């Protein structure tokens, strides 16, 4: 099959979802109001709560949610064939991811910028909240530890990406000063920032930086992991306007341009998809498509981590509530486009079916490296770019996605540690909470890996998909309770909630059996803990939904505001 056909159909579905379905959700379900006082304006502190231009905020949101997962997930899942992955990404983006991300953003904005974990106490109950926080902490711990591994591996494997990856931080700091201190207009800042980033890519391709095999007794990969955690810890303490916002915004532009380059190469070269639409002859040991497809591809279809970003950082920067449609839903669209591009690259970036089968000789063989190598081949054939430069562009793109996600994730985990401390009666300042986050991430990275390579996070990575989708289901349960209380249409949220929940619990049960048969007692215990937490929280959520249906409707903030306005006018 010609890949261009898949590109046209996929993009048409995803973009139609933004134009049509996001409008329905915004107007009929969430009822976004331009006059609602957002937390960024109500609590503007110049650090975490900062009213932000929607395009800048979209850049932060998009690059924070679109880490390595929308590349890794689809690149692994095509082992079942390109059609199941394609359908889950396109349908998931429209009816699951966009709805989820927009809903989590709306729920937080309507509750003074509180995180989803905090909201669970108000809408589900204290017990549900405590278990919810445990699940969130575990998920963020996985994200931080594993994304540090992904980034360090790419920096070691692709030394031409070192200069653009770290140089992007300097560019981001200067962009933040230009926007907020020097008051440059946004188009000028955007052009200068993008030119600077692509100049760094050219410079990095010309002057690769390859670390020695051993530094201070550490391998090159382990050294990069420590540096990444230290950087992320410092970055999480800085005001969002100084580094997080501008870094994510300018990276978002660069990454969207990178996606455009990748799609242009596909359209020009029109590579043939050599992988089967449905692969009935999967390698031995490959798990069943159902339910594993729906937890293998999380980011790019629906991801609980997105709810953490929406309610943890984006909601505190949203200037107008109506901007949530562009920031939340279109952020999911951007990630869906990345996942779609990944599917095409890892199924059409091979010369023959035999070459594809050689790469996919076992489950989990595909990944970021496959994306970079096969994508580089398409860029070379489509645009005539040198192999080295093509690989540098894609490796930089992948690292920046992962790095911006890690930046946000460390800040989010700091919020969670502060919330847990408050529940335990211990008020933690931001520095102490950040130190706890960094040390816990390093402890997992190095403590769980006797080789000292810092890749211990990969040990619990098999639980990421199920934990992530469980968090998405829990987030949808909170949104459902809110909608039921307000007597608004809730089926657009409830139906995806039930589907994700069934698939996630099914996958957890499959993994319990698998870990038991393998004798993997650590993952078995963690899997059972997550499974118990899932059943418990969902039971609490079901009872909360039942109570909400029988209670008097919750007053609508906008209706109250309109009534007050009428009273003042008549008075």
pLDDT tens, 312-339? 889 999 999 999 999 999 999 999 999 9
Give the chain's length.
Answer: 571
Average pLDDT over residues 377-393: 84
Q: Is the dihedral of CA 259, 325, 14, 87 positive or negative?
A: positive
Q: Do 394 and 372 touch, CB atoms closer than 8 A?
A: yes
State the CATH number of the domain containing residue 282.
Answer: 1.20.1740.10
Q: Is the dihedral of CA 518, 523, 525, 530 positive or negative?
A: negative
Answer whether residue 415 shows pLDDT above 70: yes
C-alpha–C-alpha distance, residues 10 and 419, integer Å: 40
Supply φ then ψ for residue 49, to 5 degrees.
-100, 105
The residue range of the domain holding 97 is 3-570
Helix (H, G, I), strand (E, B) or coil at 302: coil
> CA nearest 106: which of 408, 304, 305, 311?
311
Answer whether residue 561 shows pLDDT above 50: no
Average pLDDT over residues 188-215: 89
Complete DSSP assignment for 94-153? IIIIHHHHHHHHHHHHTTTT--HHHHHHHHT-HHHHHHHHHHHHHHHHHHHHHHHHHHHH
pTM, entire model: 0.84
Res 452: pLDDT: 65
> CA nearest 344: which of 306, 382, 399, 293?
382
Which burial class, exposed, middle or buried, applies to 552 when counting CB atoms under 10 A from its CB (0-12, 13-18, 19+)?
exposed
Answer whether residue 185 shows pLDDT above 90: no
Res 371: pLDDT: 82
Question: In this structure, what DSSP letter does residue 67 have?
Answer: S
Answer whether residue 124 shows pLDDT above 50: yes
Res 450: pLDDT: 60
Q: Give tens-digit pLDDT for 265-317.
A: 899 989 999 999 999 888 888 888 999 899 989 888 999 889 988 998 899 99
Complete DSSP assignment for 408-459? HHHHHHHHHHHHHHHHTT----HHHHHHHHHHHHHHHHHHT-TTSSS-GGGG
Q: Do 150 and 71 touch, CB atoms closer than 8 A?
A: no
> CA nearest 508: which of 524, 494, 492?
524
Cis peptide before 38 (omega within 30 of 0): no
> CA nearest 60: which of 288, 437, 315, 304?
315
Residue of higher predicted confidence among 191 and 135: 191
| Band of pLDDT at residue 567, cut at 50, 70 and 90 | very low
C-alpha–C-alpha distance, residues 281 and 276, integer Å: 10
Structure tokens at 398: 């992948």
Average pLDDT over residues 82-94: 96
Res 322: pLDDT: 96
Residue of higher predicted confidence among 220 and 254: 220
Q: Which span out of 81-85, 134-138, 205-209, 428-432 was modeled with the highest average pLDDT?
A: 81-85
Res 570: pLDDT: 41
Please report, for residues 168, 195, 392, the alpha-carbon distance to residue 199 in angstroms, rounded to integers and kept in the order given. 11, 6, 12
Please report, for residues 49, 244, 337, 398, the alpha-carbon distance to residue 40 in angstroms, rounded to integers and kept in the order given. 5, 16, 29, 31
What count of other Cβ atoms lies within 10 Å of the Cβ of residue 207?
11
Contacting residues for 159 by C-beta, under 8 A, at least 6 apart: 208, 209, 210, 211
Res 558: pLDDT: 56
Give me the percent of the chain exceeding a pLDDT of 70: 95
Structure tokens at 461: 């990575």
Res 562: pLDDT: 46
Query: For the chain, what is the total number of helices (H) and then of strands (E)?
Result: 25, 2
Question: In this structure, what DSSP letter does residue 362 have?
Answer: S
C-alpha–C-alpha distance, residues 460 and 444, integer Å: 9
Contacting residues for 99 by C-beta, under 8 A, at least 6 apart: 21, 25, 329, 492, 493, 496
Mean pLDDT of the chain: 86
C-alpha–C-alpha distance, residues 502 and 473, integer Å: 9
Q: Give tens-digit pLDDT for 248-264.
A: 788 778 777 888 888 99
Please report, for residues 479, 490, 499, the alpha-carbon distance to residue 482 in angstroms, rounded to integers and kept in the order given. 5, 9, 19
Q: Give tens-digit pLDDT for 233-248.
A: 998 888 888 887 788 7
454 torsion bin: left (phi>0), alpha (psi -120 to 50), beta (else): left
Q: Give tens-digit pLDDT for 165-183.
A: 899 889 989 988 888 888 8
Q: Which span out of 15-24, 66-75, 293-302 was modeled with the highest average pLDDT?
A: 15-24
Q: Is the dihedral of CA 32, 113, 116, 57 positive or negative?
A: positive
Res 48: pLDDT: 81
Answer whether residue 377 shows pLDDT above 50: yes
Q: Do 334 and 404 touch, CB atoms closer than 8 A?
A: no
Q: Give tens-digit pLDDT for 503-559.
A: 999 998 998 998 898 888 888 888 888 888 778 877 888 888 888 888 777 776 655
Structure tokens at 508: 């957890």
E strand intervals along 179-281: 214-215, 218-219
> CA nearest 309: which of 479, 470, 117, 493?
117
- Number of structural domains (the chain) is 1
> CA nearest 330: which of 10, 21, 37?
21
Answer whether residue 451 shows pLDDT above 70: no
C-alpha–C-alpha distance, residues 79 and 514, integer Å: 19
Average pLDDT over residues 355-384: 82
Contacting residues for 82 by C-beta, under 8 A, at least 6 apart: 6, 273, 275, 276, 277, 343, 347
C-alpha 68, offset from chain centre: 8
């Amino acid at each position: 099959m010609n890949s261009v056909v898949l590109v046209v159909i996929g993009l048409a579905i995803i973009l139609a979802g933004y134009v049509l379905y996001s409008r329905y959700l915004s107007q009929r379900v969430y009822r976004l109001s331009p006059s609602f006082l957002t937390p960024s304006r109500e609590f503007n502190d110049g650090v975490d709560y900062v009213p932000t231009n929607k395009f800048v905020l979209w850049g932060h949101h998009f690059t924070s949610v679109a880490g390595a997962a929308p590349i890794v997930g689809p690149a692994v899942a095509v082992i079942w064939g390109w059609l199941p992955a394609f359908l889950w990404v396109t349908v998931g983006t429209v009816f699951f991811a966009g709805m989820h991300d927009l809903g989590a953003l709306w729920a937080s904005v309507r509750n003074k910028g509180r995180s989803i974990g905090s909201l669970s106490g108000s809408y589900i109950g204290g017990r549900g909240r405590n278990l919810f926080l445990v699940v969130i902490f575990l998920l963020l711990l996985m994200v931080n530890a594993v994304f540090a591994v992904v980034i360090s591996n790419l920096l070691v494997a692709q030394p031409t990406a070192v200069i653009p990856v770290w140089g992007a931080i300097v560019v981001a700091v200067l962009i933040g000063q230009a926007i907020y201190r020097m008051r440059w207009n946004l188009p000028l800042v955007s052009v200068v920032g993008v030119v600077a980033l692509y100049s760094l890519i050219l410079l990095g391709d010309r002057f690769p930086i390859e670390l020695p095999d051993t530094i201070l007794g550490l391998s090159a990969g382990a050294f990069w992991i420590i540096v990444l955690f230290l950087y992320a810890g410092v970055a999480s303490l800085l005001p969002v306007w100084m580094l997080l916002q501008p870094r994510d915004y300018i990276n978002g532009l660069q990454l969207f341009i990178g996606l455009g380059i990748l799609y242009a190469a596909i359209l020009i070269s029109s590579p043939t998809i050599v992988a089967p639409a449905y692969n009935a002859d999967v390698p031995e040991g490959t798990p069943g498509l159902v339910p594993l497809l729906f937890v293998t591809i999380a980011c790019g279809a629906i991801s609980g981590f997105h709810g953490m970003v929406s309610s943890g950082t984006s909601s505190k920067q949203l200037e107008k509530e109506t901007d949530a449609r562009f920031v939340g839903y279109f952020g999911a669209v951007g990630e869906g486009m990345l996942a779609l591009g990944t599917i095409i690259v890892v199924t059409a970036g091979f010369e023959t079916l035999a070459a594809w089968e050689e790469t996919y000789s076992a489950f989990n063989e595909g990944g970021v490296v496959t994306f970079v190598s096969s994508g580089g081949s398409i860029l070379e054939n489509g645009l005539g770019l040198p192999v080295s430069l093509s690989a540098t562009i894609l490796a930089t793109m992948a690292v920046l996605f992962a790095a911006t996600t890690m930046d946000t994730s460390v800040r989010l985990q700091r919020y969670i540690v502060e919330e847990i401390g408050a529940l335990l009666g211990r008020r933690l300042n931001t520095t102490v909470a950040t130190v706890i986050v960094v040390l816990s991430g390093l402890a997992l990275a190095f403590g769980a890996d006797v080789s000292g390579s810092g890749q211990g996070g990969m040990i619990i990575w098999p639980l990421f998909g199920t934990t992530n989708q469980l968090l998405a289901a829990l987030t949808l349960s909170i949104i459902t309770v809110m909608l039921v209380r307000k007597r608004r249409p809730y089926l657009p949220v409830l139906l995806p909630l039930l589907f994700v929940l069934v698939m996630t619990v099914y996958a957890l049960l499959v993994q319990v059996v698998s870990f038991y048969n393998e004798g993997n007692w650590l993952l078995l215990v963690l899997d059972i803990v997550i499974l118990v937490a899932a059943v418990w929280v969902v039971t609490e959520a079901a009872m909360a939904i039942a109570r909400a249906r029988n209670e008097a409707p919750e007053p609508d903030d906008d209706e109250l505001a309109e009534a007050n306005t009428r009273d003042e006018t008549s008075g």
